[in-house]
């Protein structure tokens, strides 16, 4: 995959089925009895590893190989979107850090432009009538 947008286009079919919920539940269960500690341990390990890389390394994803520097924005995107989902469910504002928001919005823009969906997205983002029912760039 050459870019984060390419990754999401390639994963559309894989994430459309019921298996995505199963993978989510399995991932949650794998964190064990103390999910916060497990996440902290994973984060410490991954951050230390990423700090030693330059981004050109190849990683294996569910849709094939990809450079680390192109793959990491897909993880940021997922964290931003799902954290915003959680915030909304909890009734708190989905306050997204500026750098993460810019990176996620860049991916959304790339997807919308490539799929011919820029018009409706631009209209909604500038206060015009809402997006069509079921609209998604994913």
Judge whether 87 and 94 are in contact, CB under 8 Å. Answer: yes
Residue whose structure tokens are 């997922």: 78
Kindly state the tokens that stand for 138: 């994913």
pTM: 0.83
User: Does residue 20 lie in a domain region?
Assistant: yes
User: Does residue 137 lie in a domain region?
Assistant: no
Distance CA 77, CA 85 (A): 12
Task: State the residue range of the domain holding 74.
Answer: 4-125
Handedness of CA 54, 9, 17, 123 (dihedral sign): positive
User: Does residue 13 lie in a domain region?
Assistant: yes
User: Does residue 12 lie in a domain region?
Assistant: yes
Kindly tell me if the per-residue pLDDT of 106 is higher than 90.
yes
pLDDT at 38: 93
């Amino acid at each position: 995959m050459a870019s984060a947008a390419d990754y999401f286009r390639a994963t559309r079919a894989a994430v459309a089925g019921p298996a995505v919920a199963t993978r989510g539940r399995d991932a949650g269960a794998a964190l064990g009895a103390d999910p916060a500690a497990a996440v902290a341990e994973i984060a410490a390990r991954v951050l230390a590893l990423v700090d030693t890389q330059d981004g050109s390394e190849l990683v294996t994803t569910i849709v094939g190989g990809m450079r680390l520097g192109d793959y990491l924005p897909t993880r940021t995107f997922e964290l931003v979107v799902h954290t915003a989902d959680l915030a909304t469910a909890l009734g708190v504002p989905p306050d997204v850090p500026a750098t993460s928001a810019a990176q996620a919005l860049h991916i959304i823009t790339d997807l919308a432009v490539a799929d011919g969906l820029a018009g409706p997205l631009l209209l909604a983002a500038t206060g015009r009538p809402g997006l069509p029912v079921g609209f998604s760039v994913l």
